[in-house]
Structure 1
């Protein structure tokens, strides 16, 4: 019978950057969940975009995907709800702080008469915190349209 490695062993197997990201995500997920509930998506996203980015660093796609996986790992071990939108907003913010350009994608699909929605982050058109074919599974809205675009003058 094989034994699973302990969580501490799994944590130490991560790179230093992944360890930092996992800890930041574990602490940040409850704050992002609360921010979404209190401010709503557009207002919260607007505030996040005002956060100054650090100087741009060249991160390889594999490193960016590793950061996405670290956020997903943290989400599995937080006592707070960590839905795809919360995880994706947090990852986008963390990438922005590293100087990495990313896009939040929100998509929908119809499955057996039920409308499903999902959020993920893309860098240069490649999903970095989800399956590589997620954009084929969901019809993406593209960039979000501000609510004021629908208001009459």
Structure 2
């Protein structure tokens, strides 16, 4: 049986987690507005201004943070509305991780099926997918970073 002190601690932890999800969801929406009004490169420049100098961390701590943020952004992705597009979620997660000292790579892929153009964005760290599943990203041709057009439309 759980003591009332343990239940209180669990409730406090859940409240903190809900707050972090809410703040990151707000970040996703703010980035979505930035992307639509300023474009990809300008939005990335603005976000870079708010990243402090990184403090080195060990691999175990980095893995815990990666897992925590993957869970948070997966929850945001499955919200019924106001969840942003894949690009805004990926940029928000990248920003949150950079503030923790973890650097990731933004990948943008394109796909043309039945004459329809489709684009998708996700994050990777050392080849490991962070905010998507290989079944979703395997159908996309990954664009080299220098070839990115800020006018691309993402789902």
Quickly name the TM-score band, shorter chain normalised.
0.7 to 0.9
Task: Tell whether 2:115 aligns with 1:116.
Answer: no
Q: Is 2:108–2:119's contact at 8 Å kept on the other side of the alignment?
A: yes
Distance 1:65 1:123 in 2: 12
Alignment size in residue pairs: 136
Q: Is 2:25–2:83's contact at 8 Å kept on the other side of the alignment?
A: no
Aligned with 1:80 (options 73, 79, 82): 82
Q: Could you tell me which residue of structure 2 aligns to residue 67 of structure 1?
A: 69
Structure 2 unmatched runs, 5+: 1-10, 150-155
Describe the superposition over 1:105-130 as per-residue Cα deviations: whole angstroms up to 9, x where unpaired: 10011222222110001111111000
Distance 2:146 2:80 in 1: 28
Structure 1 unmatched runs, 5+: 1-11, 148-153
Deviates more, 1:56-65 or 1:81-90: 56-65
Task: Tell whether 2:127 aligns with 1:125.
Answer: yes
Question: CA RMSD, aligned part only?
Answer: 2.9
- Per the normalisation by structure 2, the TM-score is 0.71
Q: Is 1:52–1:97's contact at 8 Å kept on the other side of the alignment?
A: yes
- Per the normalisation by structure 1, the TM-score is 0.72
Q: Is 2:76–2:83's contact at 8 Å kept on the other side of the alignment?
A: no
4+ aligned runs moved over 6 Å, structure 1: 14-17
* Cα distance change, pair 133–45 in 1 and its aligned pair in 2 (3 A): same
